[in-house]
Chains A and B, each alone.
Chain A
Amino acid sequence: MKRLAGGDPEILITEGDFDLGRVVCKLTTPEMGGVVCFLGTVRDDGIVKMELEVFLEVAQAELAAICREAMENFRLISISVVHRYGILKPGDNIVGICVGAGHRGEAFRGCEYIIDQLKQRVPIWKKEIRGDGSFWVEGEKRIEK
Protein backbone atom coordinates (compact mmCIF):
# COMPACT_ATOMS: atom_id res chain seq x y z
CA MET A 1 0.00 0.00 0.00
CA LYS A 2 1.36 3.43 -0.88
CA ARG A 3 1.34 6.36 1.47
CA LEU A 4 -0.67 9.39 0.49
CA ALA A 5 1.89 11.97 1.56
CA GLY A 6 5.62 12.29 2.01
CA GLY A 7 7.16 12.46 5.41
CA ASP A 8 10.37 12.50 7.40
CA PRO A 9 13.41 11.13 5.59
CA GLU A 10 14.02 7.44 6.11
CA ILE A 11 17.65 6.67 6.94
CA LEU A 12 19.02 3.19 7.42
CA ILE A 13 22.66 2.28 8.05
CA THR A 14 22.93 -1.46 7.97
CA GLU A 15 25.13 -4.48 7.32
CA GLY A 16 22.35 -6.06 5.34
CA ASP A 17 21.65 -5.73 1.62
CA PHE A 18 18.71 -3.76 0.26
CA ASP A 19 16.38 -3.83 -2.73
CA LEU A 20 16.20 -0.42 -4.39
CA GLY A 21 12.89 -1.34 -6.04
CA ARG A 22 11.30 -1.84 -2.66
CA VAL A 23 12.75 1.48 -1.45
CA VAL A 24 11.16 3.24 -4.44
CA CYS A 25 7.84 1.54 -3.87
CA LYS A 26 7.77 2.55 -0.22
CA LEU A 27 8.76 6.15 -1.00
CA THR A 28 6.43 6.93 -3.88
CA THR A 29 3.27 8.95 -3.29
CA PRO A 30 0.66 10.18 -5.79
CA GLU A 31 1.65 13.84 -5.58
CA MET A 32 5.15 13.13 -6.86
CA GLY A 33 5.98 14.01 -10.44
CA GLY A 34 9.28 12.16 -10.33
CA VAL A 35 11.46 9.86 -8.27
CA VAL A 36 15.24 9.86 -8.77
CA CYS A 37 17.47 7.14 -7.33
CA PHE A 38 21.22 6.74 -7.01
CA LEU A 39 22.70 3.31 -6.41
CA GLY A 40 26.37 3.14 -5.45
CA THR A 41 28.07 -0.24 -5.85
CA VAL A 42 31.51 -1.79 -5.31
CA ARG A 43 33.34 -1.30 -8.60
CA ASP A 44 35.07 -4.41 -9.92
CA ASP A 45 38.48 -2.90 -10.67
CA GLY A 46 40.73 -5.40 -8.96
CA ILE A 47 39.20 -5.20 -5.50
CA VAL A 48 38.99 -8.54 -3.72
CA LYS A 49 36.72 -7.11 -1.04
CA MET A 50 35.83 -3.82 0.57
CA GLU A 51 35.42 -3.08 4.26
CA LEU A 52 33.14 -0.22 5.22
CA GLU A 53 33.45 1.23 8.70
CA VAL A 54 30.96 3.66 10.22
CA PHE A 55 30.81 5.98 13.22
CA LEU A 56 27.18 5.10 13.59
CA GLU A 57 25.68 7.74 15.86
CA VAL A 58 27.35 10.65 14.06
CA ALA A 59 26.68 9.18 10.60
CA GLN A 60 22.99 8.90 11.39
CA ALA A 61 22.82 12.49 12.66
CA GLU A 62 24.82 13.90 9.74
CA LEU A 63 22.68 12.08 7.19
CA ALA A 64 19.55 13.40 8.87
CA ALA A 65 20.96 16.95 8.64
CA ILE A 66 21.81 16.49 4.94
CA CYS A 67 18.32 15.19 4.22
CA ARG A 68 16.72 18.13 6.03
CA GLU A 69 18.83 20.52 3.92
CA ALA A 70 17.83 18.71 0.73
CA MET A 71 14.16 18.76 1.71
CA GLU A 72 14.27 22.52 2.22
CA ASN A 73 16.53 23.46 -0.69
CA PHE A 74 14.96 21.31 -3.41
CA ARG A 75 11.31 21.08 -2.33
CA LEU A 76 11.51 17.32 -2.00
CA ILE A 77 8.47 15.39 -0.83
CA SER A 78 10.26 12.35 0.48
CA ILE A 79 13.77 10.86 0.88
CA SER A 80 15.09 7.39 1.65
CA VAL A 81 18.78 6.68 2.20
CA VAL A 82 20.27 3.25 2.86
CA HIS A 83 24.02 2.87 3.46
CA ARG A 84 25.77 -0.39 4.18
CA TYR A 85 28.82 -1.19 6.29
CA GLY A 86 30.79 -4.37 6.90
CA ILE A 87 32.46 -6.60 4.32
CA LEU A 88 31.33 -6.20 0.70
CA LYS A 89 32.48 -7.77 -2.55
CA PRO A 90 32.61 -6.39 -6.11
CA GLY A 91 29.15 -5.71 -7.46
CA ASP A 92 27.54 -5.39 -4.02
CA ASN A 93 25.31 -2.45 -3.19
CA ILE A 94 26.91 0.23 -1.00
CA VAL A 95 24.41 3.07 -0.92
CA GLY A 96 20.91 3.70 -2.21
CA ILE A 97 19.35 7.16 -2.30
CA CYS A 98 15.81 7.79 -3.55
CA VAL A 99 14.10 11.15 -3.59
CA GLY A 100 10.63 12.08 -4.70
CA ALA A 101 9.59 15.58 -5.77
CA GLY A 102 6.86 17.36 -7.66
CA HIS A 103 9.15 17.84 -10.66
CA ARG A 104 12.12 15.93 -12.06
CA GLY A 105 14.60 18.82 -11.85
CA GLU A 106 14.18 19.11 -8.11
CA ALA A 107 14.45 15.35 -7.72
CA PHE A 108 17.68 15.14 -9.78
CA ARG A 109 19.30 18.07 -7.96
CA GLY A 110 18.18 16.85 -4.55
CA CYS A 111 19.55 13.36 -5.13
CA GLU A 112 22.88 14.74 -6.36
CA TYR A 113 23.11 17.06 -3.34
CA ILE A 114 22.59 14.18 -0.92
CA ILE A 115 25.25 11.89 -2.42
CA ASP A 116 27.76 14.75 -2.79
CA GLN A 117 27.28 15.86 0.82
CA LEU A 118 27.31 12.27 2.09
CA LYS A 119 30.72 11.71 0.51
CA GLN A 120 32.12 14.84 2.17
CA ARG A 121 30.49 14.80 5.61
CA VAL A 122 29.23 11.42 6.78
CA PRO A 123 31.77 9.46 8.85
CA ILE A 124 31.95 6.27 6.82
CA TRP A 125 35.23 4.91 5.48
CA LYS A 126 36.21 2.40 2.81
CA LYS A 127 39.13 0.03 3.00
CA GLU A 128 39.95 -1.68 -0.27
CA ILE A 129 41.53 -5.12 -0.04
CA ARG A 130 43.35 -5.88 -3.29
CA GLY A 131 45.65 -8.59 -4.48
CA ASP A 132 48.67 -6.32 -3.95
CA GLY A 133 47.73 -4.91 -0.54
CA SER A 134 45.07 -3.00 1.29
CA PHE A 135 44.30 0.72 1.16
CA TRP A 136 42.20 3.09 3.23
CA VAL A 137 40.34 5.60 1.10
CA GLU A 138 40.50 9.01 2.78
CA GLY A 139 38.61 11.64 0.82
CA GLU A 140 40.07 11.43 -2.68
CA LYS A 141 43.29 9.74 -1.52
CA ARG A 142 44.28 6.09 -1.12
CA ILE A 143 46.53 5.40 1.87
CA GLU A 144 48.52 2.19 1.65
CA LYS A 145 48.50 0.01 4.75
Chain B
Amino acid sequence: MIVRVRAFARFRELLGSDMEIEIPAGATVSDVLRKACSWSEEACEAVFDSTGEVRSHVILMRNGTRMDRKEAGSTSAADGDEIVVFPPVSGG
Protein backbone atom coordinates (compact mmCIF):
# COMPACT_ATOMS: atom_id res chain seq x y z
CA MET B 1 0.00 0.00 0.00
CA ILE B 2 0.99 3.61 -0.52
CA VAL B 3 0.90 6.25 2.23
CA ARG B 4 1.61 9.93 1.67
CA VAL B 5 3.91 11.59 4.20
CA ARG B 6 4.21 15.36 4.46
CA ALA B 7 6.57 17.24 6.75
CA PHE B 8 6.96 20.87 7.76
CA ALA B 9 9.62 23.19 9.13
CA ARG B 10 12.66 21.39 10.60
CA PHE B 11 11.18 18.01 9.76
CA ARG B 12 10.68 19.08 6.14
CA GLU B 13 14.40 19.83 5.94
CA LEU B 14 15.23 16.43 7.42
CA LEU B 15 12.66 14.18 5.73
CA GLY B 16 11.56 16.06 2.62
CA SER B 17 8.33 17.94 2.15
CA ASP B 18 6.10 15.39 0.48
CA MET B 19 6.69 11.73 -0.29
CA GLU B 20 4.86 8.52 -1.05
CA ILE B 21 5.93 5.56 1.06
CA GLU B 22 5.25 1.98 0.05
CA ILE B 23 4.63 -0.28 3.01
CA PRO B 24 3.21 -3.78 3.51
CA ALA B 25 -0.35 -4.31 4.71
CA GLY B 26 -0.58 -4.16 8.49
CA ALA B 27 2.19 -1.60 8.88
CA THR B 28 1.70 0.99 11.58
CA VAL B 29 2.06 4.77 11.46
CA SER B 30 5.42 4.32 13.23
CA ASP B 31 6.51 1.91 10.48
CA VAL B 32 5.59 4.53 7.87
CA LEU B 33 7.59 7.21 9.66
CA ARG B 34 10.55 4.89 10.18
CA LYS B 35 10.65 4.19 6.46
CA ALA B 36 10.30 7.90 5.66
CA CYS B 37 13.31 8.55 7.92
CA SER B 38 15.30 5.52 6.78
CA TRP B 39 17.69 7.38 4.49
CA SER B 40 18.82 9.84 7.20
CA GLU B 41 20.11 9.04 10.67
CA GLU B 42 19.53 12.66 11.66
CA ALA B 43 15.88 12.45 10.58
CA CYS B 44 15.41 9.21 12.49
CA GLU B 45 16.91 10.70 15.66
CA ALA B 46 14.74 13.80 15.31
CA VAL B 47 11.51 11.79 15.11
CA PHE B 48 12.24 8.75 17.34
CA ASP B 49 13.79 8.49 20.78
CA SER B 50 16.27 5.78 21.83
CA THR B 51 13.43 3.36 22.71
CA GLY B 52 11.87 3.67 19.27
CA GLU B 53 8.95 5.81 20.42
CA VAL B 54 7.95 8.95 18.54
CA ARG B 55 9.48 11.85 20.49
CA SER B 56 7.17 13.83 22.77
CA HIS B 57 7.54 17.09 20.85
CA VAL B 58 6.65 15.55 17.48
CA ILE B 59 3.14 16.43 16.29
CA LEU B 60 1.37 13.95 14.03
CA MET B 61 -1.75 14.27 11.91
CA ARG B 62 -3.44 11.40 10.13
CA ASN B 63 -5.91 12.26 7.40
CA GLY B 64 -6.35 15.81 8.69
CA THR B 65 -6.79 14.97 12.37
CA ARG B 66 -4.16 15.19 15.09
CA MET B 67 -3.25 11.84 16.57
CA ASP B 68 -1.57 10.92 19.83
CA ARG B 69 2.06 10.17 19.02
CA LYS B 70 1.95 7.40 21.66
CA GLU B 71 -0.53 5.56 19.44
CA ALA B 72 1.69 5.69 16.34
CA GLY B 73 3.11 2.25 17.11
CA SER B 74 -0.29 0.61 17.51
CA THR B 75 -2.28 2.41 14.81
CA SER B 76 -2.39 0.66 11.46
CA ALA B 77 -1.87 2.78 8.37
CA ALA B 78 -4.22 2.27 5.44
CA ASP B 79 -3.68 2.59 1.72
CA GLY B 80 -4.12 6.24 0.71
CA ASP B 81 -3.56 7.62 4.22
CA GLU B 82 -1.86 10.98 4.64
CA ILE B 83 0.48 11.30 7.61
CA VAL B 84 1.76 14.77 8.46
CA VAL B 85 4.66 15.37 10.83
CA PHE B 86 5.75 18.68 12.28
CA PRO B 87 7.41 20.26 15.33
CA PRO B 88 5.80 22.56 17.92
CA VAL B 89 4.44 25.69 16.26
CA SER B 90 5.87 29.20 16.61
CA GLY B 91 3.73 31.64 14.67
CA GLY B 92 2.60 35.05 15.82
Contact = CB atoms under 8 A, between A and B. Distances in A.
A108 B90 CA distance: 22
**Interface SS of A by simple majority:** strand
Interface string A125-139: 111000000001111
Interface of B: 8-10, 12-13, 57, 61, 64, 84, 86-92
Contacts, number: 72
Given A122-B92, A123-B8, 18 more contacts: A52-B91, A53-B8, A53-B12, A58-B84, A83-B92, A119-B92, A121-B89, A124-B89, A124-B90, A124-B91, A125-B86, A125-B87, A125-B91, A126-B90, A136-B9, A136-B90, A137-B90, A145-B10
Interface of A: 40, 52-55, 58-59, 83, 94-95, 115, 118-127, 136-139, 141, 143, 145
Nearest to A53: B9
Given A58-B61, A136-B87, A138-B87, A127 B9 contact: yes
